[in-house]
Amino acid sequence: MRSLVKLLLTISIIWMLAGCTKTDQKEVVIYTSVDQVFSEPILRDFEKETGIKIKAVYDVEASKTVGLVNRLLAEKEHPRCDVFWNSEVGRTIFLKQKGIFTPYTSPSAKDISLQFKDKDGYWTGFAARARVLVYNTNLLKESDLPKSIFELTKVQWKGKVALGYPVFGTTATHMAALYATLGQEKTEEFLKELKANKVVIVNGNSVVRDMVVEGELPIGFTDTDDVNVAIQAGKPVKMLYPDRDGLGTLLIPNTVAMIKDSPHPEEGKKLIDYLLSKEVESKLAICESAQMPVRDGVKTPPHVPAFSSIKAMDVDYYDIAENIEKSDRFCQNLFIR
Amino acid sequence: MKQPRWIQTIVFLIFGIIVLLPILFMVFGSFWADGQLSLSSYRELLFDKRQIGLIKNSFGLSFGATLLSLAIGVPLAFLSAKTNLWGRKLLGIAYLIPILIPPYMHAIVWTHLLSKNGLINQCIAQLFSLKETPFDIYGIPGAIFVLTLAYFPFVTLLTASGLRSIDRRMEEASLLHHGPWKTIKGITLPLIAPHILCGALFVFIFSVINFGVPDILRLRVYPLEVFIQFSAYYNEKAAMALSLPLVGLTLLLVALQKWYMKDRSYVNLASGFEETRLYHLGQLQGLACIFAFTILFLSVVTPIGVLLKVAGPISTYVKVLETSKTQIGYSIVLALIGGFSMACLAFFISYFIERTANRAAKTVVEFATLIPFAIPATVLGIGMIKVWNRPITDVIYGSSLIIILGYVAHFIPFTTRVTSSALKQVNPRLEEMAFLVTANWFKVIGKIVLPLIRPGLLAAFFIGFILSVGDLGTTLLIMPPGKTTLPVKIYNLMHYGAEQMVAALCLVLIGIILVFSGTFYMAYKKVTKTN
């Protein structure tokens, strides 16, 4: 017993000493909600190219960016982080409104269109995902497929559609985008009809994908990266870009922003320049998450559609941000019971 | 003889700063808006039909899981610690495996077997050519089943540690006049009531705050409301407000428990110094074996089997070890230090609670240690940032120390309950006698008290360690940049859809903890023998 106590004490002391030693090496702190499997290789490449050490905190979408956003808010008085790399855009706008960021216009983002940028330079968007439908190829024929998400309220889809909690993550962003484009009345009508048609609410987009992969349900709402991982793994699923002749598909870009009063501003800027380069967009397109570049002239593999070939939903991200609380409240009352 | 003043002061300072301060920050913050006192955060606490419905689900789930865990956990502890059951040594270790598997993994495993397309459902449906599949894992009964399998070992662990400390002479005295059944009912069980109730409380609290399992089983529960405040509205004050009913409920349950045990004595005169008395099962041997091994089959063999099948070939394990060895090492070292610190702090606090003559102080301290029980991990994490993220405390917040403090703040109620139950069994007269010989408090504690409550201390350390290894919510908020703990890694892989890797990682973790516990146990045996 006593020797064990001694051992543990020694370990803790060494640990504490190791924690105190500071080196002069340049470093930069990044919080990212992009899956570690995709973001880490890119950050490692940055380390190799610049010699600046990256200290990252990875969030998981299973916790719906809850950790990082709440952490950034709580650390506001004494920021620890330099760069926030968000896998979507809604929370970035929210944090901007809370005064977490400082503007930085990166030279790398010159050719990214205004649609994907904050006009005051508080954040910049790149490499987008899209909200799509995932379906099981063993259960549905091409001819059965819906053309529009609004067909999913019809009786033949009763109890067959999976949807992530519409108050979290990109699903919430999607619903708020409907509020922004269709208006409150029509969107709420649609949501009520979905509910009446026994849509299956599950925990997140990856669960939607898994259920469709396993054939428990034939179709569901999810993001392109989630479907792509399954397609690359050879599972019997495909993705469907709905509403090509109507509303269009919601594009959700990655966003990157500089934290106000951050500890390493110079290194932070370098990292932002790097992340916004065409090279990184290309890497994000080539990796399994298959994200779509938001500008031309980026090398992509054949399965990643060109930005211009998609009918993107015509919506301002600030409109989405304005609608998100309203949409969340309605969905919470409708679905969380 | 009281604890020396200076020790009390240090212990309460540590406890106050690490555990209470972050929580107080959040509680007061929730009553504060725009620079003045306000109840605006409490507007979310509607108790409308919808929220009542969620609360009903949560209660049904937690009571169900607690009762079922008692029904399984207490007999199992009894069989493994107090009878001549075949394979009791194996049982005595194997029953702990379910708590090494994260609860959401139990849930995932059972959805593989008992969902509409699940293996068992399909087999039975085909065998008896049924139209409908017989089981449905989704819903309250399924969730009760899964939570019980995940948490019953807490009841067993605590009950068994109580049973090991019982004075055999009490049982023997009773056995002179009565049969074994009457002795068990009238002597053995009442003597370990604090332990059983403590285990039941753990299961209830874990079930009522658990969010992952109901989520996978598509059951909407009250903690979801708290979670929505964070993740949809980023309103930590409302989240705090919404979690106060859970805190209140916990305190109420503990108050009930104390009222029930009021004025009874649980002291054992010679606890822990003799071999425990074993009951002979006789004809019941077969029945008892079937019971014990059915439970093990459901809670250990099944999940491990499914995990093994999902993980697939050896190469997965190699890959997992290669990519995650740093995180595994990091998590285990942190959790060891966390468990150890918690057991130490818990001992000193419990000693104060159980030995002070001041009833008011006793009650205040006891309830203070219970507050973190039902505080959501994210609330605690935010509170910790507010307390520790300052230039002066940079050494702590900027290093791994903050994670250890997080573990201690989050899980100290559990370890304190365990050490308190253990101390209740020790007769204070023993210490008083020892003080006639020496005035050195440490000597008395080291030579008399610690050896007597060794099983309880070990249980506290083990529980602290296990809870720390699995912590996600608090860690995620305070983890220093550049570090990753194992649960964070596992969640990352889960989202990525790397089911194989997740399964392999869980199995590797179980393996490491088993090997570690085994070595620890042997070392412990050796040390106690030489003493």
Cβ-Cβ contacts under 8 Å for B338 (sequence gap 6 or more): B403, B404, B407, B408, B411, B464, B465, B468
> What residues of A are in contact with residue B50 (Cβ under 8 Å)?
333, 336-337
Residue A16: predicted pLDDT: 61
> What residues of A are in contact with residue B116 (Cβ under 8 Å)?
216
In this prediction, residues A234-254 reach a mean pLDDT of 91
The answer on pLDDT for B272 being more than 60 is no
Residue B73: predicted pLDDT: 95
Instruction: Determine, for residues A81 and B336 on separate chains, whether the beta-carbon distance falls below 8 Å.
Output: no
Nearest to B115 among A206, A216, A332 (CB): A216
pLDDT band at A262 (very low <50, low <70, confident <90, very high): very high
Residue B263: predicted pLDDT: 60
Q: What is the DSSP letter of A258?
A: E
Chain B nearest-CA residue for A209: B497
Instruction: Determine, for residues B481 and A57 on separate chains, whether the beta-carbon distance falls below 8 Å.
Output: yes
Model pTM score:
0.86
pLDDT band at A106 (very low <50, low <70, confident <90, very high): very high
In this prediction, residues A148-162 reach a mean pLDDT of 94
The answer on pLDDT for A286 being more than 80 is yes
Mapped to the 3 state alphabet, what secondary structure does A93-119 carry?
HHHHHCCCEECCCCHHHCCCCHHHECC
Bigger pLDDT: B425 vs A64: B425
Per the listing, tokens 């822990």 go with B272
How large a percentage of chain B has pLDDT more than 70?
95
Cβ pairs bridging A and B (under 8 Å): 160
Measured CA to CA, the distance from residue B450 to residue B347 in angstroms comes to 9
Lowest mean pLDDT among A138-147, A239-248, B423-432: B423-432
pLDDT band at B230 (very low <50, low <70, confident <90, very high): confident
Instruction: Determine, for residues B476 and A94 on separate chains, whether the beta-carbon distance falls below 8 Å.
Output: no
Residue A17: predicted pLDDT: 60
Residue A95: predicted pLDDT: 93
Q: Which of B477, B486, B527 to mutate to test the interface with A (most CBs of A within 10 A)?
A: B477
Q: In whole numbers, what is the pLDDT of chain B averaged over residues?
A: 86
User: Which residue in B407, B387, B383 sits closest to B397, CA to CA?
Assistant: B387
Residue B93: predicted pLDDT: 81
Q: Judging by DSSP bridges, how do beta strands A251-259 and A83-86 pair with one another?
A: antiparallel
Residue A318 C-alpha, separation from nearest chain B C-alpha, in angstroms: 16
Q: pLDDT tens digits, residue range B341-360?
A: 999 999 999 999 988 888 88
Q: pLDDT tens digits, residue range A204-213?
A: 888 899 899 9
Nearest to B497 among A64, A200, A229 (CB): A229
Residue B87 C-alpha, separation from nearest chain A C-alpha, in angstroms: 28
pLDDT band at B1 (very low <50, low <70, confident <90, very high): low
Locate all alpha helices (DSSP H) within B45-184, ordered by sequence. Answer: 49-82, 88-94, 97-100, 103-114, 119-127, 140-164, 168-177, 180-183
Measured CA to CA, the distance from residue B411 to residue B470 in angstroms comes to 11
Nearest to A55 among B382, B481, B493 (CB): B481
Q: Are B384 and B405 in contact (CB under 8 A)?
A: yes
ipTM of the complex: 0.81
Instruction: Determine, for residues A71 and B53 on separate chains, whether the beta-carbon distance falls below 8 Å.
Output: no
Chain A nearest-CA residue for B230: A66
Q: In whole numbers, what is the pLDDT of chain A averaged over residues?
A: 89
Chain B nearest-CA residue for A28: B481
Residue A176: predicted pLDDT: 93
Residue A20: predicted pLDDT: 52
Residue A103 C-alpha, separation from nearest chain B C-alpha, in angstroms: 22
In this prediction, residues A116-127 reach a mean pLDDT of 93
Interface residue B344 vs chain A (CB under 8 A): no
Q: pLDDT tens digits, residue range A63-99?
A: 445 678 888 999 999 999 999 999 889 889 999 999 9
Chain A nearest-CA residue for B524: A1
Bigger pLDDT: B521 vs B309: B309
Nearest to A16 among B228, B401, B477 (CB): B401
Q: Judging by DSSP bridges, how do beta strands A53-58 and A83-86 pair with one another?
A: unpaired
Lowest mean pLDDT among A24-38, A121-135, B34-48: B34-48
Chain B nearest-CA residue for A54: B482
Interface residue B398 vs chain A (CB under 8 A): yes
Residues in chain A: 337
Interface residue B228 vs chain A (CB under 8 A): yes
Instruction: Determine, for residues B228 and A328 on separate chains, whether the beta-carbon distance falls below 8 Å.
Output: yes
pLDDT band at A329 (very low <50, low <70, confident <90, very high): very high
Q: pLDDT tens digits, residue range B179-214?
A: 888 888 888 888 888 889 989 998 998 899 888 888
